[in-house]
Amino acid sequence: MKTVLILGANSGMARALARLTASPAVQLILAGRNTKEMEKTAADLEVRGHGPKPFIMAFDAQATETHEKFWSQVLAKVKVVDEVYLFFGQMHPQAEAQKDFHLAEEMLVTNYVGAVSILERVAATMEERKQGLIVGVSSVAGDRGRRSNYLYGSSKAGLSAFLSGLRSRLVPAGVHVLTVKPGFVDTPMTAGMKKGLLFAKPETIARGILKAVKAKKDVVYLPFFWRWIMLVIIHIPEGMFKKTRL
Ligand SMILES: NC(=O)c1ccc[n+]([C@@H]2O[C@H](COP(=O)([O-])OP(=O)(O)OC[C@H]3O[C@@H](n4cnc5c(N)ncnc54)[C@H](OP(=O)(O)O)[C@@H]3O)[C@@H](O)[C@H]2O)c1
């Protein structure tokens, strides 16, 4: 049976991926802060007959001092973890985070430090076993620092750079690392934003992730058109870019 660990399992995109991944041949491990919510997801998957009841584990990305123990507990439960999907993330409005550094710090610690902390442990185990898959959900916001979202964006830029290096490190071990860069997605994270044509559904992103895993892609923009949007954005000369309101 394949074992799949989902970090940040209560996220809108993670729930969509869990629904698509669950099957009698897959043991899901849902990890996140709100265990009651994860219990609901697990019960729902079981009722729909999608496979064995997922395991639930408490995980806080910010509490990096607990990550070693968390990972040991996961391994004690399932012995081998075949695939890890990292979804957790924190986004506060730029204007608020500029006024209150604690909000900025929460994004930086969760999205970058927390991700590095847990994935370094996962990577070491997979490297030794010479098998595994790591999927990290970053963001198009990490491709260029924009005045409207650079505190969140820089945490995702760090994550994207980390995943790139990790991918290269794990090539000799045969462990694959996929970086996912979604654009706007209609989830609780964007609840306060006005929804436009560019917004995708979490199910679309989840399907795109699984397709990219199958195709062994290194980096995927979801939906695909964000690749072209970001290509334009990253090529605007800095002298012009710094004057835009993006
Ligand atoms: N929505 C978008 O437009 C968009 C675009 C690009 C990239 N992304 C990225 O996609 C990923 C999934 O986000 P989403 O859109 O599905 O948003 P979401 O539904 O708001 O999910 C975010 C999840 O992160 C979890 N989380 C936050 N801090 C955590 C911590 N310290 N420890 C453990 N879990 C923590 C939250 O858990 P709680 O329920 O406990 O708060 C929540 O379940 C995130 O990394 C996000 O940055 C989102």
Residue 51 binned pLDDT confidence (cut-offs 50, 70, 90):
confident
Residue nearest to atom 25 of ligand 1 (CA): 88
State the average pLDDT over residues 57-81: 98
From the CB of 13, is ligand 1 less than 6 Å away? yes
Q: Find the 111 Cα to ligand 1 centroid distance in Å.
A: 9
Site to probe by mutation for ligand 1, drawn from 33, 184, 226 as the one with most ligand atoms within 8 Å of Cβ, is 33
From the CB of 185, is ligand 1 less than 6 Å away? yes
Provide the angle, in degrees to the nearest 10, between the axes of the packed helices 115-129 and 67-78: 40
Could you give the count of Cα atoms lying within 13 Å of 176 in the half-sphere of its Cβ?
14
Q: Which of 25, 30, 27, 22 is nearest to 47 (CA)?
A: 22
Q: For 95-124, what is each residue's pLDDT tens digit?
A: 999 999 999 999 999 999 999 999 999 999
Q: Which of 46, 44, 55, 56 is nearest to 23 (CA)?
A: 46
State the average pLDDT over residues 59-69: 98
At position 198, the amino acid (one-letter code) is L
Residue 48 binned pLDDT confidence (cut-offs 50, 70, 90):
confident
Reduced to 3 states (helix: H, G, I; strand: E, B; else coil), residue 82 is coil
90 has pLDDT over 80: yes
CA 132 to chain CA mean position, Å = 16
For domain 2-241, the CATH class is: alpha beta
- Window from 60-64, 99-103, 173-177, 188-192 with minimum mean pLDDT: 188-192
State the average pLDDT over residues 234-241: 97
Active site residue 152: yes
Q: Find the 8 Cα to ligand 1 centroid distance in Å.
A: 7
Bridge partners for 28 per DSSP: 4
CA 78 to chain CA mean position, Å = 22
Note the pLDDT of residue 207. Answer: 98
Note the pLDDT of residue 82. Answer: 98
Residue 22 binned pLDDT confidence (cut-offs 50, 70, 90):
very high
Residues 6+ apart with CB under 8 A from 164: 179
Q: How far apart are alpha carbons 137 and 114 in whole angstroms?
A: 13
**Whether the Cβ atoms of residue 182 and residue 200 lie closer than 8 Å to each other:** yes
Q: How far apart are alpha carbons 246 and 242 in whole angstroms?
A: 9
Note the pLDDT of residue 132. Answer: 98
For residue 82 the two structure tokens come to: 């075949």
Angle at 87 between CA 59 and CA 193, to 5 degrees: 115
Bridge partners for 7 per DSSP: 31, 86
Q: For 125-183, what is each residue's pLDDT tens digit?
A: 999 999 999 999 999 999 999 999 999 999 999 999 999 999 999 999 999 999 999 99
Angle at 215 between CA 145 and CA 80, to 5 degrees: 90
Note the pLDDT of residue 49. Answer: 73
From the CB of 91, is ligand 1 less than 6 Å away? yes
Residue 195 binned pLDDT confidence (cut-offs 50, 70, 90):
very high
Site to probe by mutation for ligand 1, drawn from 87, 220, 230 as the one with most ligand atoms within 8 Å of Cβ, is 87
Q: Which of 191, 170, 188, 187 is nearest to 179 (CA)?
A: 170
At position 107, the amino acid (one-letter code) is M
